[in-house]
Structure 1
Amino acid sequence: MKIFNNKYFVPIWTVLRVWLGYQWIVPAIEKLKDPTWVGSQSGVAITGFLKGALAKSTGEHPAVQWWYARFVENVAMPNAKVFSYLVPCGELLVGISLILGAFTIAGLIGGAFMNLNYLLAGTTSTNPILYTVAIILMVAGANVYKLGIDSLLISYWKKKQGKQLSAK
């Protein structure tokens, strides 16, 4: 579609990217400040979330599929303390990446992956919206980070590569 490649839409993609980054940073900071997420009682909040996911994996029409429930039960629950740091740190890195436009595609993929996991755990909330925005921004490609650090890094790298090629 022409909308994704149109240079006049770059400011729109940038605003959407920064908005999405903000949506990741706010909950990350809240979790990092919350002692039930990290700190002396590390793992309490995430254990509650994971138990909620397991509870949604039973019945005639479970919200959480059996295979994801096994992941929660066998990987996430035994490592709740690790996940209690991974989740907010991952959210923070995604938010910083998107706001600065640095490693933007990696940030979008990481954010979409986390949204997908929240959805698989049976949590709707804003996850479908954030997931959809991340996919749309990935489709927009390079126009998403034209107003960001990635654009500067790519320009620098191309200039450096050009100098090396001309020296040979």
Structure 2
Amino acid sequence: MSWRESRFMQVVWTVIRVYIGWEWLSAGISKTFGASAAAWVGPNAGAAVTGFLQGALTKTGGQHPDVSWWYASFIQNIALPNAKVFGYVIAWGELLVGLGLILGCFTTIALLAAVFLNMSYLLAGAVSTNPMLLFWEALLLWAGAAAYYWGVDRILIPQWKKRRLKQGIA
């Protein structure tokens, strides 16, 4: 057993995982059920995404732009025309990532989704807490199974493996 899989580190990974999960869950709840929900998933779905992305497009100029030309092209040609869809995906995605991390359920999938969301925000020029969260998410991915030892995955994954072996699927 390596040091990253020790009981002490399993507790450390769990605390970090739950903290990151809380950050995502609270962001997702505010977008899905909070005061600004109408701009994300309600009657004006897409309004918040449109505002954010238009702000990102203003960061594409100058000698050292915060948003790369290729990401600006993605924003203009794909994200903005589909802002309503992106609003739902972001709001519910953040909520589900948070639940997955707090419960330790589908942990690796939740961490990969969190990394994807953070990278998307960073590429759009939003810094905030994203670099710190991205660091901890990458560290939890590196920790592997120790990151979800204290979670639902600890129970589910052996069951799935057992079922797959019974069915002859390796």
Normalised to the residue count of structure 2, the TM-score between the two structures is: 0.90
CA distance in 2, matches of 1:87, 1:161: 33
Corresponding letter in the other structure for 2:45: S
User: Paired residue for 1:18?
Assistant: 18
User: Paired residue for 2:97?
Assistant: 94
Q: Report how far residue 156 of structure 1 moved.
A: 2.2
Which stretches in structure 1 are left out of the alignment for 5+ residues?
A: none
2:151 is aligned with 1:145: no
CA distance in 2, matches of 1:160, 1:90: 29
2:76 is aligned with 1:73: yes
Which of 116, 119, 124 is residue 116 of structure 1 equivalent to?
A: 119
CA distance in 2, matches of 1:49, 1:40: 18
CA distance in 2, matches of 1:59, 1:89: 35
C-alpha contact (below 8 Å) 1:4/1:139 kept by paired residues:
no
C-alpha contact (below 8 Å) 1:4/1:143 kept by paired residues:
yes
CA distance in 2, matches of 1:32, 1:66: 31
CA distance in 1, matches of 2:91, 2:145: 27
User: Paired residue for 1:9?
Assistant: 9
Aligned-CA RMSD value: 1.5
Q: How many residues align?
A: 163
2:138 is aligned with 1:135: yes
Q: Report how far residue 160 of structure 1 moved.
A: 4.4
Which stretches in structure 2 are left out of the alignment for 5+ residues?
A: none
Q: Report how far residue 38 of structure 1 moved.
A: 1.9
User: Paired residue for 1:31?
Assistant: 31
SS at 1:79 equivalent: helix
CA distance in 2, matches of 1:117, 1:161: 35
Q: Report how far residue 43 of structure 1 moved.
A: 1.2
User: Paired residue for 1:47?
Assistant: 50
SS at 2:39 equivalent: coil
CA distance in 1, matches of 2:160, 2:50: 44
Q: Report how far residue 6 of structure 1 moved.
A: 2.4
C-alpha contact (below 8 Å) 1:13/1:144 kept by paired residues:
yes
Task: Name the % identity.
Answer: 47
Corresponding letter in the other structure for 1:128: P
Normalised to the residue count of structure 1, the TM-score between the two structures is: 0.91
Q: Report how far residue 7 of structure 1 moved.
A: 3.1
**Which runs of 4 or more aligned residues in structure 1 lie more than 3 Å from their structure 2 counterparts after TM superposition?**
157-162
Higher deviation after alignment, 87-96 or 2-11: 2-11
